[in-house]
Amino acid sequence: MEKKIITISREFGSGGRSIGRMVAEKLGYKFYDQELILHVAKESGLAKEVVAEYEEYATHKNSFLYAIAMSNGGIYGGMSFANQVQIAQAKVINNLAEQGNCVIVGRGADYLLRERKDCLNVFIHADMKFRADRIVRLYGETNKTPEERLRDKDAKRKVYYKSFTMRDWGVCQNYHVSLDSSVIGVEHCVDIIVKIVEDSRE
């Protein structure tokens, strides 16, 4: 069946977001990333920045965000902050999928859309050196080493994905394609994904 929706999950620094954008350009699909957060924020009635922070850093019962959640009515008053965000997010992602012809990066979209036959789920990862070089080039240096930043981000994405989906992050069986961009190359990854979508139209 023709793949009209592509979800991209990725390790930080692997180039997964860039790959998603290039795939969208080549196929003439829409591309959703930060923009999606804005949609979610509007839907849930929560401030954009808070939702963004939540999505990056997941949910801990003793966190500041959780405290806000418990004192926050929102439009789903009475529910936890995490649940409010997740319900709003699911609604937005399902709406985007219904419209079709789009690439969605992150946000657990692979899980939310797992029953759709017109959805291709992609995972992009890369070795530590490739990712470390890339984040320093793109985002500059900080007082932490790039390796520390990567380990930190990986751990947070794992927790976020698990709390959201109850599945382990980065397991082959949850994706239709998984590619190591440090070995295959960012542009060849784009070509492979585009080719799979084109072949799905046969």
Q: How many angstroms separate the CA atoms of 91 and 109, rounded?
A: 11
45 or 100: whose CB is closer to its own copies?
Answer: 100
Radius of gyration of the chain (CA): 17
Q: Which of 75, 138, 155, 183 binds its own copies (CB under 8 A)?
A: 183
Q: Which of 71, 115, 172, 201 binds its own copies (CB under 8 A)?
A: 172
123 binds its own copies (CB under 8 A): yes
Q: How many angstroms separate the CA atoms of 161 and 169, rounded?
A: 6
180 binds its own copies (CB under 8 A): yes
Binding pattern to its own copies, positions 75-94, x when CB under 8 A? --------------------
Q: How many angstroms separate the CA atoms of 1 and 131, rounded?
A: 34
31 or 123: whose CB is closer to its own copies?
Answer: 123
Q: ∠101-138-184 over CA atoms, to 5°?
A: 60
Task: Pull the structure tokens for residue 69.
Answer: 């959640």
Q: Which of 50, 79, 87, 192 binds its own copies (CB under 8 A)?
A: 192
- Window of 15-23, 28-36, 69-77, 194-202 that interacts with its own copies by CB under 8 A: 194-202
54 binds its own copies (CB under 8 A): no
CB of 84 within 8 A of CB of 78? no
115 binds its own copies (CB under 8 A): no
Q: Give, for 147, the enclosing helix (H) or strand (E).
A: helix 146-165
Q: How far apart are the first and last CA of the chain?
A: 8
Residues of this chain that interact with its own copies (CB under 8 A) are: 11, 120, 123, 125, 170-173, 175-180, 183-185, 188, 191-192, 195-196, 199
